[in-house]
Amino acid sequence: MDNCLLPPGLALLGFLVLLPMTIPWGQLGKDSWLGGTHCVACLAPPAGSVLYHLFMCHQGGSPVYTRLLALDMCGVCLVNTLGALPIIHCTLACRPWLRPAALVGYTMLSGVAGWRALTAPSTSARLRAFGWQAGARLLVFGARGVGLGSGAPGSLPCYLRMDALALLGGLVNVARLPERWGPGRFDYWGNSHQIMHLLSVGSILQLHAGVVPDLLWAAHHACPPD
C-alpha cells in the first residue's frame, strides 16, 4: 500500500464524520448553502488524494497517471475555490453591492488557476498556478484586517494560519525536503509528500475553525444602515 495514502485517508474519514456534526445547520438560515459549500471544500482534497494514491499501483502508464493526478488537482482546486466563498461572503456581508461581484470574480479567477494547475508541467508550476487565488484571498484578509470588511472576531487569524500551512506544505513538497538531505532514508515515512499532506489537513482544520464562527456571525449580525 502507498504510505502516502494514510494521512488523507484518515482525514477523509474524520471529516466525513465530524464536519456535518460541527456545523450548526439550524442556525445558518438562508446561508445554509454556504455550510454545504464549506463541507465540499474540506472533503475534496483528501478525497482526491485518496483516489490518487489508492490507484497508484496501476499499470496503465502515463495516460492513467495523468487522470489520477488531475483528480488530485481537482481536490486542491475545489478547496481553493469553494473554501474561500464563505470567507468572501462574510467579509463583505455589509457591502451587498460589492459581494456578488467579488464572489463571481473570485470564481472566474479560480477557473483560470485551476486550468493552469491541471495543465502545469511540473510541481512548482502547479504551486505557482494557485498564486493568484492566494493573492486575492490576501486582499480579502487585508480588507478585514483594516476594518473595511466584517466577520467573526477570531476568524481572521485562522485564515492566515490556513494559508500559511498550505503554502508551507506546497514549498516542502516542491523542495523535496527532507529526503533531499538523506536519499533513501525517507522512502517510507517522513518524506515531503507525507509532510505536505499533514500540513494540508492542518490547513483545512484552520479553514473550518474560521468559517463556522464566521457563518454564525453572518446569520445573526445586523449591518448598520447606510
Annotated binding site: 53, 193, 197
Binding site as annotated, residues for Zn(2+): 53, 193, 197
Long-range contacts from 101-104, C-beta under 8 angstroms, 24+ separation: 102/140
C-alpha grid cell, residue 224: 448598520
Sequence-distant contacts of 160-168: CB under 8 A, at least 24 apart: 161/203, 161/206, 162/203, 162/204, 162/206, 162/207, 162/210, 163/134, 163/137, 163/138, 163/203, 165/199, 165/200, 165/202, 165/203, 165/206, 166/199, 166/200, 166/203, 167/134, 168/199
For 187-193, the CB contacts below 8 A with 24+ separation are 188/3, 189/3, 191/4, 193/4
Burial class from Cβ neighbours inside 10 Å (0-12, 13-18, 19+) for residue 108 reads: exposed
Give the Cα separation of 103 and 92 in Å (integer). 10
First to last CA, the chain: 60
